[in-house]
Amino acid sequence: MALTVDNLTEWINSFAQKVNDQKDYLSELDTPIGDGDHGNNMARGVKAVQESLENKKPAELTDAFKQIAMALISKVGGASGPLYGTAFLEMAKKSKDTTDLGELFAAANAGIKKRGGAQVGDKTMVDVWEPLSDQLAQGSLAQEDIDKAVNGTRGLVAKKGRASYLGDRSVGHLDPGAMSSGYLFTALIETEGIL
Amino acid sequence: MTLGITIVSHVPEIAEGLPKLLKQVAADVPLTFAGGTDDGDIGTSMEKISQAFTDNSADEILAFYDLGSAKMNLEMAQEMSDKTIHLYDTALIESAYTAASLLQADVPLNDIEEQLKPLKIK
């Protein structure tokens, strides 16, 4: 099983579908601890990604990752744009050498951490990307791993972004970026032929 | 080597308004700004920031921003720019005003940065 332009496109379309279906929920999660726009921002981003992939079918995996990255960077608007964009840009760079999912996701996770300055435990998307990238490197990833990582952000105190202004008051809320990242990983394991 | 300033804000009116204040003390300092998303909504745009760097007639730029995600887009634009971009985690209005007035007085960058230090808040 390996990543190809076709199953990458299928994966991303599935992610886009989940973001659109859960748009209001993502914004709802973002309301008590953020600025309430995560769902709309991500929906705008994935729409741009889908348009980009439709208008110009990428020849190589690297082109596909790059197109996804640029669409997210230019269209999302909030912090998720540069963070998701950097993740896919790092995968684009890495995909020149390998299509190994573990290595691609490790590069993406390192990019997110560098861009946003967050570490594990800061109540961000890193709390999903890091453990799940490790799982992928070990060759197994199940929905329960994804749920565990996403739900794990509920008890954490936010250290980054707008949620960090709330300090202890952020405890009890799921991190919206962790949730949308969870959808990306769910879409990945649901897409036939990648894992 | 000329030095200029670029202002980045989530709000188009803030990005556009602050240079008006700066021009009062820095009529000759190259000033550009980037505010809001590509659609003019609240947020920041890497493309708008890159354009503001390009449009600035200076070849070395001091960049000031308002909040978190503006910094991430600034850093991406910085990585893609041919110019030398200095990024400051300082109070936006106060530090841009300080830098602008000192640049107008031809104060060297090192001294400007020394004066910006106490304004670091993020």
Q: Count each helix (H run) and each strand (E run) in chain B, helices first.
A: 5, 4
Please answer yes or no on whether A81 and B69 come within 8 Å at the CB atom: yes
Residue A115: per-residue pLDDT: 95
With a cut of 70, say whether residue B40 has pLDDT above it. yes
Cβ-based neighbours of B121, under 8 Å, separated by 6 or more: B89, B90, B91
The H or E element that residue B107 is part of is: none
B7-105 classified as CATH 3.40.50.510: yes
Q: How confident is the model at residue A1 (pLDDT cuts 50, 70, 90)?
A: low
Q: Which pLDDT score is estimated for A67?
A: 98
* Cβ–Cβ contact A75 with B under 8 A: yes
pLDDT for A106-154, tens place per residue? 999 999 999 999 999 999 999 999 999 999 999 999 999 999 999 999 9
Cα A137 to Cα A140: distance, rounded to the nearest angstrom: 8
pLDDT score at A160: 93
Q: Is A165's pLDDT higher than 80?
A: yes
Q: What's the whole-number mean pLDDT along residues B58-67? A: 97
Asked whether the beta carbons of A79 and A161 are under 8 A apart, the reply is yes
The CATH topology of domain A5-190 is 1.25.40
Residues of chain A in contact with residue B45, where contact means CB-CB under 8 angstroms, are 74, 77
Measured CB to CB, residues of chain B less than 8 Å from chain A are 37-39, 41-47, 67-69, 72-73, 75-76
pLDDT higher than 80, residue B1: no
Q: Which residue of A has its CA nearest to B46?
A: A74
Q: How confident is the model at residue B99 (pLDDT cuts 50, 70, 90)?
A: very high
What mean pLDDT value characterizes chain B?
96
Residue B119 confidence (pLDDT) = 97
> What's the rounded mean pLDDT across residues B56-63?
98
A86: closest CA of chain B, how far (Å): 9
In this structure, how many other beta carbons lie within 10 angstroms of the beta carbon of residue B82?
8
Say whether B10 is catalytic. Answer: yes
pLDDT at A2: 87
Residue A77 banded pLDDT, cuts 50, 70, 90: confident
CA-based nearest residue in chain A for residue B42: A77
Q: What is the average pLDDT across B84-109? A: 98
Per-residue confidence at A78, pLDDT binned at 50, 70, 90? Answer: confident
Nearest by CB to B43, from A78, A161, A162: name it. A78
- Which amino acid is it at A143? Q
- Pick the residue of B69, B71, B74 with the most A CBs within 10 A to test the interface with A by mutation: B69
Burial class (CB in 10 A: 0-12, 13-18, 19+), B93: middle
**Residues B10, B29, B65, B74: which is the catalytic one?**
B10
Nearest-by-CA chain B residue for A44: B39
Dist. CA A65–CA A8, nearest whole Å: 9
- Residue A180 clears pLDDT 70, i.e. is over it: yes
Say yes or no for a CB contact (<8 Å) between B43 and A85: no
Whether residue B39 is predicted with pLDDT greater than 90 in this model: the reply is no
Domains of chain B by residue range: 7-105
Do residues A17 and A70 make contact, with C-beta atoms less than 8 angstroms apart? no
Pick the closest to residue A105 from A23, A189, A193 (CA basis).
A189
For the segment A83-87, the average pLDDT, to the nearest whole number, is 97
List chain A domain ranges. Answer: 5-190
- pLDDT cut 90: percent of chain A above it: 93
Residue A22: pLDDT over 70 = yes
Q: What is the mean pLDDT of residues A24-30?
A: 97
Please, what's the b/e burial string for B94-104 (b: 16 or more CB within 10 A of its CB; e: otherwise)? ebbbbbbbbbe
ipTM of the complex: 0.83
The minimum CA-CA distance between A77 and chain B, rounded to whole Å, is 5
